[in-house]
Amino acid sequence: NAGTLQAVEAGRQSTFAMIKPDAMSQLGSVLSELTEQRLKLRIAGLRLLQLTTAQARHLYNEHQERPFFKSLVAYITSGPVLALHLTGPGAVGRWREALGPTDSAVARTSAPNSIRAKFGTDKQINAAHGSDSVAAAHRELSLMFPEWDVSDRLPSLGSDAEMV
Ligand code: UDP
């Protein structure tokens, strides 16, 4: 439809970002990174929520066999989070770049200006989340913003886009 075409022509991309419980006390500073780092991303939607264990397990479903899964779910459900729908050219990559490496300690040496370097603690407690692909963004946005009709705003993603 016309809306989808316009979004694609404008190079608009959507990603799912989340400020994790450990960074919620510095929420203003973390959100300021959107302008500090000149990301040119727009906040198209946001929700304050506390994830249930079931939601957390869904969100991190790809990690369910990993040894850190249980503690990751405990951490992410330990307090409120801010879920964000960000849009703009290259939103997925730009937000990942702004986050820096998964491990905040690594980030402090390799990407000192990144969000995880500035606000995170270690490889688990790392301040914020960002989808790692367009397909992941679609899945995560559908999960966290169920009222938002993702299919109307993103080009078709094929079978990768199936919800879990
Ligand atoms: N994580 C963890 N232990 C690890 C690696 C990751 O607890 O050894 C947590 C961390 O909070 C991370 C999340 O699991 O952000 C998802 O891991 P992933 O490898 O997808 O990293 P990300 O895409 O968030 O950088």
Please give the average per-residue pLDDT across 139-154, as a whole number. 77
Say which CATH number the domain at 129 has.
Answer: 3.30.70.141
ipTM of the complex, rounded to two decimals? 0.99
- 155 in any annotated domain: no
- 120 in any annotated domain: yes
Q: Write the DSSP string, 151-163.
A: GGTS---GGGG--
Instruction: List, for residues 47-102, the tens digit of each pLDDT value.
Output: 999 999 999 999 999 999 999 999 999 999 999 999 999 999 999 999 999 999 99
Measured by CA distance, the residue closest to atom 19 of ligand 1 is 102
Range of the domain at 11: 2-145
CA separation for the pair 56, 61 (Å, rounded)? 8
List the end-to-end C-alpha distance of the chain, in Å, as a whole number: 26
Ligand 1 binding pocket includes 61 (Cβ within 6 Å): no
pLDDT at site 1: 64
Ligand 1 binding pocket includes 102 (Cβ within 6 Å): yes
- 40 in any annotated domain: yes
* 164 vs 45: which has the higher pLDDT: 45
Let me know if 129 is a catalytic residue.
yes
pLDDT at site 146: 87
- 156 in any annotated domain: no
Q: How many domains does the chain have?
A: 1
For residue 47, give the amino acid letter: R
